[in-house]
């Protein structure tokens, strides 16, 4: 009796601890196609450290707790965000992400890529100013409108290309039918039937007798 009650209490305590841990608010901001440009705002005023990842990536899963720890250590100094590139493909393409995880820091309209060991010490040092020793690249949203729309078009085609091609083919077929609905259908010509050899002989003999 006492043992069962003790196990029940222990179970309740463990559940409560688990819920508290899962319910703790993450300091990492989730960035998407729809909110990235507005929230990051070129890193004006406060830099943004952004992780571009895919949920299935093993290295990304290993980095996840360190990225949360980074966000906690840098509160008030640097904003920390993450982009799921399988969901936000446009942002992934805009930032030319080809591997996971990709780490970039955006500050005052300039962009810096992280390269090195992904230890918490190295990440903190980089985000707190180590990035300034790197050569910056242009913030993608500062590029020309043509580049912006080109990335948008390629993203849409990559995502819905199969459906777009199907719709185009159906549309072309329907247009052909509408433009020439009464066009005759060419039928293959049938060769003339030749009379049997026996019939030819009978006809020749009858002409002879007459």
pLDDT tens digits for range 7-22? 444 444 334 444 343 3
Backbone angles phi, psi at 85, to 5 degrees: -70, -15
Catalytic residue among 15, 17, 60, 85: 60
Which among 21, 91, 25 is positioned nearest to 54, based on CA atoms? 91
Flag whether pLDDT at 103 surpasses 90. yes
The CATH number given to whatever domain includes residue 37 is 3.40.30.10
Q: Is residue 191 part of a domain?
A: no
Is 57 noted as a catalytic residue in this protein?
A: yes
- Is residue 60 flagged as an active site residue? yes
Q: How far apart are the C-alpha atoms of 40 and 149, rounded to whole Å?
A: 20
What gap in Å lies between CA 178 and CA 176, rounded to an integer? 6
- Residue 18 maps to a domain: no
Domain count, the chain: 1
Measured between alpha carbons, how far is 171 from 173 in angstroms, rounded to an integer?
5
Residues 116-175 pLDDT 10s: 999 999 999 999 999 999 999 999 999 888 887 888 888 888 777 656 666 667 777 677
Quote the domain boundaries for residue 58.
25-142
Lookup result for tokens 């406060």: 46
């Amino acid at each position: 009796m006492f043992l069962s009650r003790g196990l029940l209490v222990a179970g309740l305590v463990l559940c409560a601890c688990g819920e508290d841990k899962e319910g703790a608010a993450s300091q990492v901001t989730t960035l998407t196609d729809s909110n990235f440009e507005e929230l990051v705002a070129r890193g004006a005023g406060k830099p943004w450290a952004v992780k571009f990842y895919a949920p299935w990536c093993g290295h990304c899963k290993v980095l996840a707790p360190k990225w949360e720890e980074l966000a906690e250590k840098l509160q008030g100094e640097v904003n920390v965000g993450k982009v799921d590139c399988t969901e936000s493909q446009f942002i992934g393409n805009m930032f030319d992400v080809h591997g996971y995880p990709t780490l970039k820091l955006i500050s005052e309209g300039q962009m810096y890529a992280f390269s090195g060991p992904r230890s918490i010490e190295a990440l903190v040092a980089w985000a707190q100013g180590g990035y300034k020793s790197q050569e910056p690249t242009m913030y993608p949203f500062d590029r020309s409108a043509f580049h912006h729309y080109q990335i948008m078009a390629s993203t849409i085609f990559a995502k819905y290309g199969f459906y777009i091609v199907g719709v185009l083919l159906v549309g072309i077929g329907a247009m052909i039918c509408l433009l020439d609905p009464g066009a005759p259908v060419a039928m293959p010509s049938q060769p003339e039937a030749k009379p049997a050899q026996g019939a030819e002989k009978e006809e020749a003999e009858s002409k002879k007798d007459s």
